[in-house]
């Protein structure tokens, strides 16, 4: 056998070195990679592996992209660094196995500090054959940033191999307004889910862990706020039990019933009501705009006294004390929602507060409105508002409960037939939201923009994702339902005692930033033209298609409708909308920044 010469050995070493085929790419936020070297199938259209990227941004917001490391060989000492003249938040992306289609999708974002050392494959994510690690980058463009072009770069080190990719951000003069054009709400229920998601932090639970629970809830408020959303947590269940902290503690009965302690309530909600929970966020401290009250048929008045004088006495005493407390605390920027979530199918009460189907149940709203008005001083600066979540009988409820309900949350598709009512509702001071679910991870990335866009085209004030903190029992192993009930995950597995965001939440935030710009521009008088252009860019549709259903609602009494009847009449409406391209919102973003930069 011939011996290799020294130079041959050297060449071999160089060759082997180059076989450490790690490479670093910079990828649009809308094209999610898979762990095996491609893109997830729903985001494949238009996806490309780039060695540079040029982005545009308005001021007062974030601009996002992904860094993707691909390597055919294992790497135990990879490193990532980022140089940016603007502050950058970096996250590593977690690939979830998704049960519905048995594919992997990146979604949870785990905050990291750069320089960041990592391995390929990721021993923690533990995916057989993993060749890709991905990182999400949020660059913060402060409101006082000077318009211009900013350069940055990311560098991968893999042994002796170094790869650098530049990114360029063109910052326009446009300013994203501090206040959002829409309330994009993430909804949740009670505290029970915290125990499942934070087993270490809440081990033992009970009153000893109350502070930890309360701080976790505050962190959810903070995370959604920083990502241009709002957060709701309902503190009572279908039979009226109020979780500790969601209401002041009461004592006595009848005319003697009174509040004995605000301690828990103030510790839980005080920081979000006075805004201090948001200290240190890039958006700055602000009081939350909306909040559920614990008021339900069993609280503060004992159901035992329903329809008797004692019910009024207990209700009036306690709500009156609440008003006084809120006023003394200066909590006058928040709308305190009197919202009845119970459904009779859960057997706690005899009427549906949520999604009323039986017209007789509307009468209860009138009773509670009377009770509420009776409990509040006429000139109070504290903003209590009656809220109704309405679907089956929205048109009837809107007529009957005019001037009773001040916050309407209407089924996202149910409102399509009654959009002509929205201006009148807003004119009398009502807030109008629509509600629905959350696109699962297997949907195209840009689908997260559809509902906020629909709310904006409808001319309503917001969109509610009915459940947004429930990723299922073991989301880092398997997403059982595509993550369609969550936009956040528990960070506990990663040593973070609080929530971590998702890619979908970040994309929703980016959508909101652009809608804020577009709304600002629309107020200049060109709303129709702007909306026409936006839906054309998004999915090549027209505003008329968004705002009109080809078919009317089902005939007859809503009480006789089935969900199938509604599905049938909605099909032609929904069929008008093609699945958006992954970069559908990127086109809207570019338009929004350009448009706003031109006029500011």
Partner 1 sequence: MKLVTFALVGFQLAFVPVCVRPAVAQTSVSSAANTAAQQQDLQEIARVATAMIDGDVCQHIVTQRALEHMLHPNPRDEWQAGDNYDVHDAPFIETKKNLIRLATLAPYPVDVNLWMPVPTTQDIQVVIRNKYNLSQFWHGGLEQAMPPEMQEVLQSGKTLTLQKTPGMISVLAPVRNSLNEIVGLVEVVASTASPQHDEQ
Residues that bind partner 1 (CB under 8 A): 189-192, 206, 234, 236-241, 243, 298, 302-304, 306-309, 312, 316, 341, 343-351, 357-358, 360, 363, 366-367, 370-371, 374, 392, 559, 562-564
We find the least distance from the C-beta atom of residue 27 to partner 1, in angstroms, to be 38
Report the residue number, 153 or 343, with the smaller CB distance to partner 1: 343
CA nearest to 174, candidates 196, 199, 192, 147 = 147
| Cβ at position 348, least distance to partner 1 in Å | 5
CA–CA gap between residue 459 and residue 433 (Å, rounded): 10
Q: How far is the CB of 447 from partner 1 (least distance, A)?
A: 24
Cβ closer to partner 1: 110 or 234? 234
CB of 322 to partner 1, least distance (A): 16
Residue 386: CB minimum distance to partner 1, A: 14
Closest to partner 1 by CB, 239 vs 396, is: 239
Judged by beta carbon, residue 192 or residue 495, the one nearer partner 1 is 192
Supply the DSSP symbol for 48. -
Closest to partner 1 by CB, 240 vs 270, is 240
Strand locations in 221-339 (E): 230-234, 249-251, 258-261, 290-292, 335-339
Residue 466 phi/psi, 5-degree rounding, is -65, -25
CB of 434 to partner 1, least distance (A): 20
Task: Indicate the residue among 9 and 346 with the shorter CB distance to partner 1.
Answer: 346
Nearest approach in angstroms of CB 355 to partner 1 is: 9
Whole-Å CA distances, 434 to 204, 230, 408, 485 = 39, 14, 8, 17
Q: Compute CA 33 distance to the chain's CA centroid, rounded to the nearest angstrom.
A: 22
Minimum CB separation from partner 1 for residue 224, in Å?
18
What does the radius of gyration of the chain's CA atoms come to, in whole angstroms? 26
62, 83, 145, 155, 578 from 89: Cα distances, Å: 10, 11, 17, 16, 34
Residue 361's nearest CA partner among 405, 393, 409 is 393
Task: Answer yes or no: are the C-beta atoms of 71 and 21 closer than 8 Å.
Answer: yes
**C-beta closer to partner 1: residue 97 or 351:** 351
Choice between 308 and 540, CB closer to partner 1: 308
Closest CA to 343 of 334, 355, 331: 355
Cβ atoms 588, 537 nearer than 8 A:
yes
């Amino acid at each position: 056998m011939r011996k290799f010469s020294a130079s041959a050995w050297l060449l071999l070493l160089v060759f082997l070195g180059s076989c450490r085929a790690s490479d670093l790419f910079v990828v649009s936020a809308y094209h999610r990679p898979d762990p095996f070297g491609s893109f997830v199938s729903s985001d494949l259209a238009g996806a490309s592996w780039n060695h540079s990227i040029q982005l545009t941004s308005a001021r007062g917001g974030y601009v996002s992209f992904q860094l993707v490391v691909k390597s055919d060989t294992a790497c135990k000492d990879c490193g990532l660094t980022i140089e940016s003249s603007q502050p950058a938040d970096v996250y590593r992306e977690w690939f979830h196995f998704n049960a519905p289609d048995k594919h992997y999708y990146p979604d949870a974002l785990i905050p990291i500090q750069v320089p960041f050392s990592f391995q390929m494959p990721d021993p923690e994510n533990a995916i057989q054959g993993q060749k890709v690690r991905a990182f999400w980058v949020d660059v913060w463009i402060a409101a006082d940033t000077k318009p211009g072009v900013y350069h940055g770069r990311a560098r991968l080190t893999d042994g002796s191999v170094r790869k650098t990719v530049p990114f360029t951000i063109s910052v326009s003069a446009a300013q994203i307004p501090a206040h959002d054009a829409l309330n994009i709400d993430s909804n949740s229920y009670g505290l029970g889910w915290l125990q499942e998601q934070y087993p270490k932090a809440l081990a033992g639970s009970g009153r000893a862990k109350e502070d930890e629970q309360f701080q976790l809830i505050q962190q959810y408020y903070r995370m959604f706020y920083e990502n241009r959303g709002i957060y709701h947590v309902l503190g009572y269940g279908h039979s009226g039990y109020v979780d500790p902290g969601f209401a002041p503690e009461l004592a006595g009965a009848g005319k003697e019933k009174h509040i004995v302690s605000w301690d828990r309530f103030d510790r839980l909600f005080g920081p979000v009501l006075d805004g201090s929970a948001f200290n240190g966020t890039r958006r700055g401290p602000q009081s939350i705009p909306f909040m559920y009250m614990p008021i339900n048929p069993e609280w503060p008045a004992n159901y035992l006294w329903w329809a008797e004088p004692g019910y009024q006495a207990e209700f009036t005493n306690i709500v009156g004390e609440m008003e006084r407390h809120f006023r003394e605390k200066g909590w006058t920027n928040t709308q305190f929602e009197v919202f009845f979530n119970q459904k009779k199918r859960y057997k706690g009460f005899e009427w549906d507060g949520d999604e009323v189907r039986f017209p007789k149940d509307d009468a209860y709203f009138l009773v509670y409105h009377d009770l509420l008005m009776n409990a509040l001083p006429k000139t109070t600066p504290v903003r209590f508002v009656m809220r109704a979540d309405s679907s089956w009988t929205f048109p009837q409820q809107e007529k009957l409960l005019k001037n009773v309900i001040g916050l309407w949350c209407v089924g996202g598709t149910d409102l399509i037939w009654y959009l002509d009512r929205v201006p009148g509702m807003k004119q009398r001071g009502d807030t109008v939201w629509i509600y629905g679910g959350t696109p699962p991870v297997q949907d195209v990335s840009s689908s997260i923009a559809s509902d906020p866009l629909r709310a904006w085209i409808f001319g309503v004030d917001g969109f509610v994702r009915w459940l947004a903190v429930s990723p299922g029992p073991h989301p880092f192993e398997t997403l059982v339902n595509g993550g369609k009930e969550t936009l956040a995950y528990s960070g506990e597995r990663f040593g973070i005692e609080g929530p971590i965001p998702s890619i979908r939440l970040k994309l929703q935030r980016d959508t909101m930033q652009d809608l804020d710009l577009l709304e600002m521009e629309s107020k200049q008088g060109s709303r129709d033209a702007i909306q026409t252009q936006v839906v054309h860019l998004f999915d090549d549709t027209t505003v008329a298609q968004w705002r009109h259903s080809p078919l009317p609602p089902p005939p007859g009494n809503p009480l006789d409708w089935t969900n199938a009847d509604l599905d049938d009449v909605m099909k032609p409406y929904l069929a008008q909308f093609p699945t958006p391209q992954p970069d559908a919102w990127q086109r809207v973003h570019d338009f929004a920044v350009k448009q706003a930069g031109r006029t500011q």
